[in-house]
C-alpha cells in the first residue's frame, strides 16, 4: 500500500509508526555525513557550488546565465565568475543559442560529464563495500524494499503528472470560457447601448 499525505488518515496507527521509522532511517544522514561522503567521493576535485551548477545543467539542459543565476540564487556577476572558473577547468562550456544569437547558454562540457562518471564510480564502490558487510538475508530485504520504493516513487510521480495535466487543461478551459463570456458580454452591452450600430 502506498501511503502519501492523502492516504495517511486511513493508515492504522501501527502502519503510521512503521512509516515514521522507515522515514527516520531513510533520512538519517545529516549534513555533516553528506558533506563527508561527498568529499570522499569527489576527492576534493569539486566545490559544492560547482556540483550545484553541474546538477542543474544535467537536469535542465543548457541554461542562459540569468536563469542559472536565478536557480542558484546568486547574482549574474557571481555566476559569471563561477562559470569562468568551471570553463577554465573544462567542466562547462558556453555557446550561443541557436534561436537567439544574443543569448549565451551554459552547458556541461566533457570534463563535467567525466567528473560525474568518476563521482558515481567512487560512490558505487563505497556503497558496495558497505553493503558487503550485510548478510544475504539483509541484502535481499534491502533490495526488495528499494524496488518497492522505486515503484511507489514512479507511481506517485505519474499520478502527480496526471493531476498537473488535468489542472492545466482545466485552467485552459476556464480561460477560454471566460474569453467567450467576455465576447458575449461586450456584444450584449453594445446591443443595449443607445446609439450603437445595429
Please give the tally of structural domains in the chain. Answer: 2
CATH number at residue 120: 1.10.10.10
Q: Quote the pTM value.
A: 0.55
Determine the structural domain holding residue 76 and report its residue range: 12-133
Q: Is the domain of 28 the same as that of 102?
A: yes
35 located within any domain: yes
111-170 per-position pLDDT tens digit: 988 888 888 888 888 889 989 998 999 999 999 999 999 999 889 888 888 888 888 888
- 104-110 long-range contacts, Cβ below 8 Å, gap at least 24? 104/64, 104/65, 105/62, 105/63, 105/64, 106/53, 106/57, 106/62, 106/63, 106/64, 106/65, 106/68, 107/57, 107/61, 107/62, 107/63, 108/54, 108/57, 108/58
Average model confidence (pLDDT) for the chain? Answer: 83
Amino acid at each position: 500500500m502506498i501511503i502519501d499525505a492523502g492516504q495517511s488518515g486511513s493508515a492504522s496507527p501501527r502502519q503510521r509508526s512503521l512509516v515514521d521509522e522507515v522515514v527516520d532511517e531513510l533520512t538519517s544522514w545529516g549534513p555533516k555525513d553528506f558533506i563527508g561522503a561527498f568529499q570522499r567521493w569527489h576527492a576534493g576535485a569539486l566545490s559544492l557550488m560547482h556540483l550545484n551548477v553541474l546538477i542543474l545543467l544535467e537536469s535542465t539542459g543548457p541554461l542562459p546565465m540569468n536563469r542559472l543565476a536565478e536557480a542558484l540564487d546568486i547574482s549574474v556577476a557571481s555566476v559569471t565568475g563561477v562559470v569562468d572558473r568551471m570553463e577554465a577547468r573544462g567542466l562547462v562550456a558556453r555557446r550561443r543559442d541557436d534561436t537567439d544569437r544574443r543569448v549565451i547558454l551554459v552547458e556541461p562540457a566533457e570534463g563535467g560529464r567525466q567528473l560525474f562518471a568518476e563521482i558515481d564510480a567512487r560512490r558505487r564502490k563505497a556503497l558496495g563495500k558497505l553493503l558487503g558487510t550485510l548478510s544475504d538475508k539483509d541484502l535481499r530485504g534491502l533490495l526488495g524494499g528499494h524496488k518497492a520504493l522505486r515503484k511507489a516513487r514512479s507511481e506517485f510521480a505519474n499520478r502527480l503528472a496526471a493531476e498537473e495535466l488535468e489542472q492545466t487543461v482545466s485552467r485552459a478551459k476556464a480561460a477560454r470560457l471566460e474569453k467567450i463570456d467576455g465576447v458575449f458580454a461586450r456584444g450584449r452591452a453594445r446591443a443595449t447601448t443607445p446609439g450603437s450600430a445595429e
